[in-house]
A = this chain, B = another copy of it.
């Protein structure tokens, strides 16, 4: 008991069915003593950008050696690789489709080890289904890693440079500010950009977005003032703050910024120095 091992789960399986429960059952079949923590199962179906952000955001808050199992997998049944990655302070298991790009972009690739999950000895069944690798490959492999199996036993080593990358639009620094994009929209309707805290080098700034109001035929630019917390504007008004994840986010005090602005994943946003 001195070393309780943890597996986290992040999927787009939803909670209506038993898919998540089955993944946990398979983990328990391998080792019932592992602790499983749900990150979320409500990633919008096949939305790799949401998955990428959510995992990136959660990753730093877990103990060393935690295994993060992430399955948002539009290419299941096709030729995409199944992989496991050893990081300096944890493990990632899932499809090679860019879902881990957020976590990896801050790491030196020479410090990580990657294998393709080709050794069926560690799978749930020798012939996995074409549609549920979460159950048949990823869950048992994650449980074996968490139980101490070495990465090199799970399949052939592959070059970290060869991993599929999922990139957001580049950040551009201009004289007047920073151009970025929407990388996630959360449960509260907060719109989270990819503009990080450390980029905000001046004290006074606003955010410019192209709101797509349902009632307008044409989108129109809208300026949102910055503040320190949700309560720094009137009830119902929009405000741009540095969110708890460290990125610039747009919130509506007591409401939903998403409903007011109707922005989508990867839409352009712009920090403007005052």
Contacts and interface: CB of A to CB of B under 8 A. Distances in A.
A76 to B, nearest CB: 7
Interface string A24-68: 111011001101011111100110000000110110011100100
Number of copies of this chain that the complex holds: 3
B26 A61 contact: yes
Given A18-B39, A76-B229, 19 more contacts: A8-B25, A14-B187, A14-B188, A16-B42, A20-B38, A21-B40, A21-B58, A22-B61, A28-B66, A29-B61, A32-B63, A45-B188, A46-B254, A76-B230, A77-B228, A129-B244, A130-B241, A131-B241, A131-B244
A38 B25 CA distance: 10
Contacts of A174: none
A17 interface: yes
Interface residues of A, number: 62
Contact of A38 (B8, B21, B228, B254): B21
Given A16-B42, A16-B187, A187-B13, A228 B130 contact: yes
Provide the main secondary structure of the chain A interface: loop
A186 B22 CA distance: 14
A188 B33 CA distance: 31
A42 B1 CA distance: 33
